[in-house]
Amino acid sequence: MTNAAIAIDTGDLPFGGGMLALVRPALDLLEPGGVLAVLTRQSHAIDELGTWCKVERHELLEATADQGGATRILLRKGSFGAPRGAIEDNLDLKPHGGRIEAADMLAAVPFAPSADPGTGFAPRGARVEPGGPVYPCTINDLAHAAPPDVAQLYDQAVSAQWNADTDIEWARIKPLPRPLQRALGQVFTFLAENELSALYVPSRFIARLHPHYVETAQFLATQMADEARHIDVFLKRARVGGGGVGISHATTSASLHSLLTLEDFTEAAFLLSVLGEGTFLDLLRYIEMHAPDEVTADIVRRARADETRHVHFGMSHVKHALSHDHTMYARLEAAVRKRSATLAGAGGVPYAVQDSLTILAAGGTDPAAVAKGHSAFRELMEVMHENRVKRLLNAGFSPAQAQTLSDLHTPNFM
């Protein structure tokens, strides 16, 4: 909406006592060059408005006596400091089922193909006064910043939040035999350590993401809130019922360190969410299946529902980037190879993780049961590989590429 001319009546408001509160918003609705007619009954205000126009680079065209002692002043709006962009007006977001979702907002105010770092934290759609600083965001284009379903994923994430203090039936947990309790403590130590990386890695990209694509930052914020809750609930589970946390392995540390040092948002989404968290889904399903009690199963089931959303976002992000930028295939493959080279010689699955997953599946230390546990663990490795290949094929990699990339994936799962 643009206006060529507007008329306002400022009554007997003094220049600095309310007149400007009517004049400035009216000028804001005009394009530079547009004319504002101001009716006033304040004699000094005419002169003061004239000085103000000089400072603000508007032009006072004329002041003429109107009937009844009022003065009619005509101003021509200048271009000095005029906010850039179209005036947003008459938006009327409609609730459906009592809700207004982020997806409704995105539909009303869609993403631009690219964003200007000079607009800073201006909300998408706002007109921006010139002269603000250039922000240090580096993810400034739609292809790398926001997949099409990001707002829906954010909406889903908001509705799916749960409470680690009150939603888990902590009082129902009973002490376990010591070896099983130690194994469970080790498993949750490993899960918490991996979730710490999943909390920290997205945080590095929020500050680089242009605020125009805020829905992605909002989704990442829910992802981080999810991870914070998982860390909380996993460590609580490790410490309820007479156990404690276990070992943090150097292999795990090296693997997670290689995620933390990634500089490219899409590469990080691919390695963390598609390959890492994707593999994690199989691990969480395994723990749920072999959980020693219903509360533990409930904890990992809830975590898996959250992680499924993260994988979905990661897949959507990567597919969106790949569809706009075909060089991404080679870049993502190179990222996997580079990470694999960094981790060369790190060995297989860290021993304490392997053993505790075996004991967990065995339900104890009875040798016959441990043999079954061992088979279950070996089967888990197979399932993880098969599902990684499926996800890579879904992302658009060739069967050969998918096979190779899955093989190169970290032995640390995440």
Partner 1 sequence: MADETILLGAVAYDAKVVPIWEGIREHFRGQHVPMDFCLFSNYERQVESLLAGHIDIAWNTPLAHVRVKRRTQGKSLSLGMRDSDRDFKARIVVRKDAGIKSLPDLHGKTLAVGSRDSTQARILPLHFLRAQGVDLSSVKLLPFDTDVGKHGDTGTSELDVLKALHEGRAQAGAVGDLIWVLEQAAGRVDTGKLQVLWTTPGFDHCMFDALPGANAAKLEAFKRGLFAMKWENPAHRRILELEGLKEWLPPREEGYASLTAALDEQGGW
- Give the orientation angle of helix 351-362 with respect to helix 367-395, to 10 degrees: 110
Continuous segment of H or E residues that includes residue 76: strand 71-76
Please identify, using beta-carbon distances, which residue of 15 and 397 lies nearer to partner 1. Answer: 15
Please identify, using beta-carbon distances, which residue of 80 and 351 lies nearer to partner 1. Answer: 80
For the bound state, the minimum distance from the C-beta of residue 145 to partner 1, rounded and expressed in Å, comes to 28
Identify the CA nearest to 72 among candidates 161, 118, 155, 9.
9
Please identify, using beta-carbon distances, which residue of 20 and 299 lies nearer to partner 1. Answer: 20
**Residue that has been written with the tokens 């609580």 in this structure:** 236
Q: Are 282 and 387 in contact (CB under 8 A)?
A: yes
Please identify, using beta-carbon distances, which residue of 49 and 187 lies nearer to partner 1. Answer: 49
| Residue 97, burial from CB neighbour count under 10 angstroms (0-12, 13-18, 19+) | exposed
Q: Are 356 and 374 in contact (CB under 8 A)?
A: no
Please identify, using beta-carbon distances, which residue of 116 and 167 lies nearer to partner 1. Answer: 116
Residue 324 CA to residue 315 CA, distance in Å, equals 14
Q: What one-letter code names the amino acid at 303?
A: A
Residue 71 bridge partners (DSSP): 40, 65
Please identify, using beta-carbon distances, which residue of 46 and 305 lies nearer to partner 1. Answer: 46
Please identify, using beta-carbon distances, which residue of 18 and 244 lies nearer to partner 1. Answer: 18
Please identify, using beta-carbon distances, which residue of 132 and 399 lies nearer to partner 1. Answer: 132
- Three-class SS state of 180: helix
Residue 282 CA to residue 383 CA, distance in Å, equals 7
Under the rule (CB under 8 A), what is the footprint of partner 1? 14-18, 20, 44, 47-48, 51-52, 54-55, 57, 80
Residue 125 CA to residue 88 CA, distance in Å, equals 7
Please identify, using beta-carbon distances, which residue of 51 and 114 lies nearer to partner 1. Answer: 51
Q: What one-letter code names the amino acid at 344?
A: A
Please identify, using beta-carbon distances, which residue of 18 and 348 lies nearer to partner 1. Answer: 18
For the bound state, the minimum distance from the C-beta of residue 22 to partner 1, rounded and expressed in Å, comes to 13
For the bound state, the minimum distance from the C-beta of residue 80 to partner 1, rounded and expressed in Å, comes to 8
- Three-class SS state of 199: helix
- Start-to-end CA span in the chain (Å): 51
Residue 206 CA to residue 84 CA, distance in Å, equals 25
Please identify, using beta-carbon distances, which residue of 57 and 390 lies nearer to partner 1. Answer: 57
For the bound state, the minimum distance from the C-beta of residue 15 to partner 1, rounded and expressed in Å, comes to 6
For the bound state, the minimum distance from the C-beta of residue 78 to partner 1, rounded and expressed in Å, comes to 9
Identify the CA nearest to 210 among candidates 153, 251, 265, 167.
265
For the bound state, the minimum distance from the C-beta of residue 62 to partner 1, rounded and expressed in Å, comes to 17
> What is the number of alpha carbons within 13 Å of residue 407 lying toward its C-beta?
6
Q: Please state the separation of Cα 413 from the chain's center in Å.
A: 23
Residue 115 CA to residue 162 CA, distance in Å, equals 34
Torsion of CA 215, 193, 208, 339, to 10 degrees: -120
For the bound state, the minimum distance from the C-beta of residue 312 to partner 1, rounded and expressed in Å, comes to 45
For the bound state, the minimum distance from the C-beta of residue 26 to partner 1, rounded and expressed in Å, comes to 15
Residue 294 CA to residue 169 CA, distance in Å, equals 9
